[in-house]
Amino acid sequence: MTANADEQLGFIFGRRSIRLYSPAAVTEAVVQKLLEAAMAAPSAAAKDPWRFVVIRNRQKLSALAAALPNGQMLADAALGIAVCGDLQAAHGEQLSYLLQDCSAAIENLLLCAHVLGLGACWLGVHPREERINALKKILSLPPSVIPVSCVAIGYPAETKEPRTRFNRDYVHSDSW
């Protein structure tokens, strides 16, 4: 591997969960890029079951922060994006495919946010019923739409060093 490869992969190692944000607003053009990156993710049978709710309303962000035990940063974020999946649109209407597709979209969104100079934090919603029900109510989601996560986004007011959590003990060759 060359130094150039390490440099090119730096955006992956530099992406960290950011929980403190400056008060700066995020433009619609930037949100559009985040959503384009999210929707560039792979999807089982190209079904694209992902659906996104962009939340800027302060009251809704505060309600989401209260509904998610580790989501307090949403109250101060410039915006939140609820990543949801429409079960009727998922490959074979299978929950597992919906979750995999939405997770790929979330990772693309997080990497894009980092490249654009934003901070972001992935907050899990699914499979916790109380979280799912809270987001369904707060965001007025239709019955077939399942909230998978909520991502807090804003310009960072903290910095974290790049890292990897690589652990050789988690790797097996050819068999367990």
User: pLDDT by residue (tens digit) across 38-75?
Assistant: 999 999 999 999 999 999 999 999 999 999 999 999 99
Measured from the Cβ of residue 22, the count of other Cβ atoms closer than 10 Å reads: 13
Q: Beta-carbon neighbour count of residue 56 at 10 Å?
A: 14
- Asked if 104 and 43 count as a contact pair (C-beta separation under 8 A), the reply is yes
pLDDT band at 6 (very low <50, low <70, confident <90, very high): confident
The model carries a pTM of 0.96
pLDDT-derived band of residue 1, with 50, 70 and 90 as boundaries?
low
Share of the chain above pLDDT 90, in %: 96
Q: How confident is the model at residue 4 (pLDDT cuts 50, 70, 90)?
A: confident
Which domains does the chain possess?
A: 39-158 (3.40.109.10)
pLDDT digits (tens, 9 = 90+) for 121-141: 999 999 999 999 999 999 999
